[in-house]
Amino acid sequence: MQTAYVNGQIIDGTGKAFRGYMIVDGDKITEVGSGDLPLTNASVAVHDIGSKTLMPGIIDCHVHLRSDGVADPRAQSASDTDAIAVLRSARNALRSLDAGITTIRDCGSRNGIDFSLRSAAQQGLCKTPRLVLSGMMICMTGGHGWPLGLEADGPDGLRRAARSQIKAGADNVKLIASGGILTPGTDIGAPQFTVEEMTAAVEEARTAGKTSCAHAHGTTAIKNAVRAGVDSIEHGYLIDDEGIEMMLERGTYLVATSSAVRNVVRHGVKAGIRPEVVRKAESAIERHVEGFKRAYKAGVKMAMGTDTGVPFTDHGKNLDELVYLVEMGVPPMEAISISTSKSAELLRMADRIGSLEAGKQADFIVVDGDPLQDIKILQDKSRILRVAVGGQVLVQRDARPQ
């Protein structure tokens, strides 16, 4: 039996919006068109979505499901048993789904917790968005994230580390190219892995048909990671013009995670965040906003990521990032494309997800209102009326009374 959504605004994820209809059959979209539903002999269940908007499910390319957005997520992760961490990850995946996220890339878990979550979801034990997993992040000895990361050194060490995560089930190899905001004693401007080290891991990922990404803040770290050939730079808070040029040349994506730095600065020490963490975020936020604007203007490819799971960047608030993109000069239509079709391209899933087009998986959301008029409505979960993954409606809410 087919389902047709009619009379709504369709934002297709590729930059087009029109009044029209979409037909879903099983897990796939079979037809999207403008105007009224054509007459058909097939039996079709018709949903009139009226003044609402139908758009692709949102893709968040950078989260950490294992931790909540508490003041010290590292302490939480350290005290969780693996069993608790899997349950926490499942709860966080559900919160993301509930907010309109249909695909999520976890950028660093531990002890196979992310793989256990996927297995649990496949067995029907929990509902999650589509999961793209990295296993453990790979860092140098004592590098950013080491308490939860896989430490490796030298090209051979990196090769082995990447292979071990791919063996465990990783879809993406996550590398740490610079110091980070949350790890004590690491300077965000300081590069960590060398180009040679990262090149070895990137080659392994590519050979196995996987993506790779690098956490990189400082200008040298960004360039090192781009030279090594990663698919995306994560954060890139201190990016300079040369880094922008290199990313343009090689088609490297930027996953800006504006939410992460903003939430640390906004909540600060008074909310219990360690002073060193707040100081580092404060030192980066202006350069991040300015660097992002220059990168966007220059035409650097963008995908959407939040770093949800770091202090006060909560699971289920992922769509705040679209508001920040708009605040930094991205038109609402473009912010939606970045968070759907462009993110799907980064994840090399654009043949299946990321837009409302015939033949794609039916990953979509129904939004009460028009996000092109006011992007902030996406932050309000009560306006995300329906969330479907592969044609299965996993979240459903009644529209608020007018």
Helix (H) or strand (E) holding 342: none
- Neighbouring residues of 262: CB distance < 8 A, sequence distance ≥ 6: 285, 324
Count of Cβ atoms closer than 10 Å to residue 152 Cβ:
24
Nearest CA-CA partner of 96 in 126, 140, 53: 126
SS3 267: helix
Is the CB of 260 or the CB of 384 nearer to Zn ion? 260
Comparison of 107 and 173: residue with beta carbon closer to Zn ion: 107
In whole angstroms, the minimum distance from the beta carbon of 318 to Zn ion comes to 13
Residue 21 or 237: the one with the smaller Cβ distance to Zn ion is 237
Chain position whose Cβ is nearest to Zn ion: 307
Closest approach, Cβ 144 to Zn ion, in A, equals: 10
- Which stretch of DSSP H or E encloses residue 257? none
Shortest spacing between CB 224 and Zn ion, in angstroms = 18
Is residue 54 within 8 A of residue 11, CB to CB? The reply is: yes
Task: Write down the least CB distance from residue 360 to Zn ion, Å.
Answer: 28
Q: How far is the CB of 64 from Zn ion (least distance, A)?
A: 6
Residue number, 68 or 307, with CB nearest to Zn ion? 307
Cβ 103 to Zn ion shortest distance, Å: 17
Query: Torsions phi, psi of 20, nearest 5?
Result: -175, -155
Beta-ladder partners of 130: 103
What residue ranges bind Zn ion (CB under 5 A)?
Answer: 107, 307
Nearer to Zn ion by Cβ, of 259 and 361: the residue is 259
CB-wise, 52 or 317, nearer to Zn ion?
317
- Measuring CA to CA, which residue among 96, 99, 74, 101 is closest to residue 85? 74
User: Which residues contact residue 286 at a Cβ distance below 8 angstroms, ignoring those fewer than 6 apart?
Assistant: none
CB of residue 215 vs Zn ion: minimum separation in angstroms? Answer: 6
Query: Which residue, 350, 341, 304, 353, is CA-closest to 326?
Result: 304
Is the CB of 27 or the CB of 151 nearer to Zn ion?
Answer: 151
Q: Which of 172, 169, 159, 61 is closest to 113 using CA atoms?
A: 169
**Least distance CB 187 / Zn ion (angstroms):** 17
Nearer to Zn ion (CB atom), residue 47 or residue 74: 74
Written as six digits, the tokens of 126 are: 């929990």
Q: What is the C-alpha to C-alpha distance for residues 289 and 335, in angstroms, rounded to an integer?
A: 15
Contact 9, 53 (CB under 8 A): yes
